[in-house]
Amino acid sequence: MTATALGEEIHVDVEPAFREDESAPEEDRFVFSYTITVHNHSGHSMQLLARHWKITQSSGEIQEVRGKGVVGQQPLIGPGQTFRYTSRAILDGPVGVMEGAFTCVDTASQRPFEVAIAPFRLAGPNQVH
């Protein structure tokens, strides 16, 4: 999964995974990790300032999460560098969808910009839909 901004210069890869060891299906608790890698292919340093996630649960309920940075950081990502982190989402069923955006700033121009993150599926084992 890749999202682009700044003329194809910022890419976001997403790797979701079901966390069976942390889930409790009998309690409608399905835990997923997702590893995000932000690639800065631009010629400028950028800083990731905030995140916005929209999480659609199996029940259809939509949860929105906003906050400063990611995993307690507002990383500075230099030209040609990447930043990777892993976080978690807890769903009420075995399938869900996440999408969102990062609010960033080009540190040279101080120009803010958004990097959209295309929807990605969170699915437990043996889920086809």
DSSP 60: S
78-122: pLDDT as tens digits:
999 999 999 999 999 999 999 999 999 999 999 999 999 999 999
* Residue 127 within a domain: no
Q: What's the pTM value of the predicted model, to 2 decimals?
A: 0.88
| CA neighbours closer than 13 Å in the CB half-sphere of residue 33 | 10
Domain count, the chain: 1
Please list the residues that pair with 17 across neighbouring strands: 33
3-state secondary structure of 126: coil
Residue 129 CB coordination number (10 Å): 6
pLDDT of residue 7: 43
CATH of the domain at 111: 2.60.40.1470
Domain that holds residue 108: 3-122
pLDDT of 53 above 60? yes
What DSSP string runs through 65-81?
EEEESBTTB--EE-TT-
φ, ψ (nearest 5 deg) of residue 25: -55, -35
Does 37 have pLDDT greater than 50? yes
For residue 75, is it within any domain? Answer: yes
Q: Report yes or no on 128 lying in a domain.
A: no
